Structure 1
Amino acid sequence: MPDQPITHLRHVDIAVQDYDKQVAFYEQQWGLTKVGSDGDVTYFAAEGSPEQYVVRVRRSQDKRLDLVSFGAADRAAVDGLATRLATDGVKLVSEPDTLQTPGGGYGFRFFDVEGRTIEISTEVAARTHRRIEEREDIPVRLSHVVLNSPEPERMMAFYEKYLDFRLSDTNVHPQLGGIMWFLRCNPQHHSMAIARCPHVSLHHASFEMRGLEEYMRGSGRLMRDGIHKVWGPGRHRAGDNTFTYFHDPNGNTMEYTTELETLDEDTWHPHLYSTEDPETSDVWGTSNPMNDFVSREMFNDPDRGLFIAPPV
């Protein structure tokens, strides 16, 4: 198995109760492209990304995170990960096989330590994509996903042990200790982060914009449209990326970002950033202040799908 079997984040799949509003939001306001639908499941691509889709939305009575999908280096990496997980008693949802989702490929699914469904895949066909132009304020690609956890240290240990994620930085609260851990699977500062939260849920999914101009135009457009802004615009210290967070129609948090830091993995050493320093949350000081109210808005509803595989 390769030294770094996981290559990147592919897509984030959610189930929602108000399906029609969610589909309209992604297509008409967030700037994604609908690439397939059967009426109860819709796939959305980012115009600048070779991934077949970056978000899947499913109609459901229960709001949940259906799954998070990561790319693997090759079939040996897929098979090696499946064997490693199964040998240690991690529950596999499916064995490595040909995938039936758009783009095909080879992969499997399993439950992580808190019951989320995770997919690992390789050989998925690339989608025809294009260069995003100047001042075009739509997402280029899916940047990263952040997961809420009541036991974040346990979560981090699981992803480090089984999927070989590496710690980039940690945000630390003076009373609570660690509150957010930034994990990478490639030189990008983080493809996933884990946030301390009272329950298991999706914290947010983040979408990369072309640059600062496009990021600000997109943020402003959504604010003018009356989309509920949770926090931003600003720039984080960990990852050095910009941020504006919004609530989608079902109360999930979605982020526009750009300029996420690329690391030299041979020389990088993780930092501890204290939340007592206001620049940890926002280097620029341009966003609304991070406080308990803003933090709670990102707690989301408790996930209703733990240790239950999605039907698709």
Structure 2
Amino acid sequence: MSHLNEHGITHLRHVDLAVTDYETQRSFYKDTWGLTEVGTDGGLSYLAAEGSPEQYVIRLRQGEEKRLDLISFGSESVETVDALAARLGSQGVQLVGEPDKLQTAGGGYGFRFFDIDGRTIEISTDVETRQHRAIEEGEAIPVRISHAVMNSNDPNKTRDFYANVLGFKLSDTLWSEHMGEMMHFMRCNDWHHSLAIAKGPHTSVHHVSFEMRGLDEYMRGTGRVMRAGIKKIWGPGRHNAGNNTFTYFLDPSGNTMEYTTELEKIETDQWHPSVYDIADPMTQDVWGTADPMSEIIARDSFNDPDRGVFVAPPV
């Protein structure tokens, strides 16, 4: 049984965001969300999760426009990085640069390319790990980055790109009678999803999710962010697909961030993806504690149209 991605993609490393309100965002992620700022460089802030060996899980950049700078995934080796870059080039995927030594924190070796919607994706290996620690009982800060969900106006096309070109496997799909297929959960390892593609009016960030130590820490964290006056969009509840808990908040620049825990692991290659009808209340929230999903909730997750599609970030 192999859970490994056929092209050597191992896991989600970090999500890099450009923001216009840099200092406000830095303070939110450090003081409210519970990440640790491990370095700054001019208008860049690198934020790590205490329980994760990744150098950082969020990078903020002071920008004139809000955008997704990139999503970074790990790769097994220099060989798998080179092979994937060659494969993408041969399939007409636009590379931002050829594989080379990385100039970002932790170094390593990798390359960037545009996915089918114009997002910048980075694939890297041999990045230095950072000193991390076990999160203690009652400590309501993120252990690691869990997954990233992106909006696409053609989610099936985007799903096919990640499946056919990058070797992600489909775990499950959300469906609606009126809207068709609404969200595809994609995996590159045994976590139920490291990436999901949501149906939205434009290319943008839907949400980024952070794994908490357990249910108690997840609830304590949810409460702390609520008490800080941050707008809660939805939750607390527990999804059917992936079986993970959820509470969604809006960060100061309008990106949705999620606390989660207990995301399902898929133990078998013989997994058959399910299609869940979002009209069934049990699909969205098996606990029944969150408000029913509404257009108002959904609208927050549509986010602003991403101004960075098919434009590589400056760093």
Shorter-normalised TM range: over 0.9
Partner residue, 1:186 = 189
Q: 2:19 aligns with which of 16, 23, 43?
A: 16
1:163 to partner: Cα distance:
1.1
1:134 to partner: Cα distance:
0.2
Partner residue, 1:279 = 282
User: Quick one: which amino acid aligns to residue 105 of structure 1?
Assistant: G
Determine whether 1:213 maps to 2:201: no
Q: CA RMSD in A?
A: 1.0
1:267 to partner: Cα distance:
2.6
Q: 2:105 aligns with which of 99, 102, 114?
A: 102
Partner residue, 1:74 = 77
Partner residue, 1:150 = 153
Partner residue, 2:38 = 35
Partner residue, 1:301 = 304
1:5 to partner: Cα distance:
1.2
Partner residue, 1:169 = 172
User: Quick one: which amino acid aligns to residue 85 of structure 1?
Assistant: L
Partner residue, 2:119 = 116
2: CA distance, partners of 1:21 / 1:120: 29
Q: Is the 8 A contact 2:5 2:167 kept in 1?
A: no
User: Does the residue aligned with 2:302 lie in a helix, a strand or coil?
Assistant: coil
Q: Is the 8 A contact 1:2 1:77 kept in 2?
A: no
1:151 to partner: Cα distance:
0.8
1:2 to partner: Cα distance:
7.3
2: CA distance, partners of 1:282 / 1:116: 30
How many residues are matched? 312
User: Quick one: which amino acid aligns to residue 281 of structure 2?
Assistant: P
1: CA distance, partners of 2:244 / 2:39: 31
Q: Return the TM-score normalized by structure 2.
A: 0.98
1: CA distance, partners of 2:217 / 2:142: 9
Query: 1:265-309, CA deviations, whole angstroms, 9 ceiling, x for partnerless residues?
Result: 323110010011101000000012111110011000000001100
Q: 1:251 aligns with which of 251, 254, 264?
A: 254
User: Does the residue aligned with 1:230 lie in a helix, a strand or coil?
Assistant: strand
Partner residue, 1:132 = 135
Partner residue, 2:53 = 50
1: CA distance, partners of 2:248 / 2:18: 20
2: CA distance, partners of 1:263 / 1:254: 24
Query: Which consecutive aligned stretches of 4+ in structure 1 deviate over 6 angstroms post-superposition?
Result: none
2: CA distance, partners of 1:120 / 1:38: 22
Distance 1:2 1:221, change over 3 A: closer
Distance 1:47 1:84, change over 3 A: same
2: CA distance, partners of 1:188 / 1:2: 12
Partner residue, 1:7 = 10
Matches within 5 A, 1:53-64: 53-64=56-67
User: Does the residue aligned with 1:131 lie in a helix, a strand or coil?
Assistant: coil
In structure 1, runs of 5+ residues without a counterpart are none
1: CA distance, partners of 2:228 / 2:44: 26
1: CA distance, partners of 2:109 / 2:97: 11
Determine whether 1:200 maps to 2:203: yes
2: CA distance, partners of 1:193 / 1:263: 16
User: Does the residue aligned with 1:298 lie in a helix, a strand or coil?
Assistant: helix
User: Quick one: which amino acid aligns to residue 51 of structure 1?
Assistant: E
Q: Return the TM-score normalized by structure 1.
A: 0.99
1:4 to partner: Cα distance:
4.5
Partner residue, 2:88 = 85
Q: Is the 8 A contact 1:2 1:73 kept in 2?
A: no
Q: Is the 8 A contact 2:74 2:123 kept in 1?
A: yes
User: Quick one: which amino acid aligns to residue 122 of structure 1?
Assistant: T
User: Does the residue aligned with 1:168 lie in a helix, a strand or coil?
Assistant: strand
User: Does the residue aligned with 2:28 lie in a helix, a strand or coil?
Assistant: helix
1:85 to partner: Cα distance:
0.6
Distance 1:176 1:143, change over 3 A: same
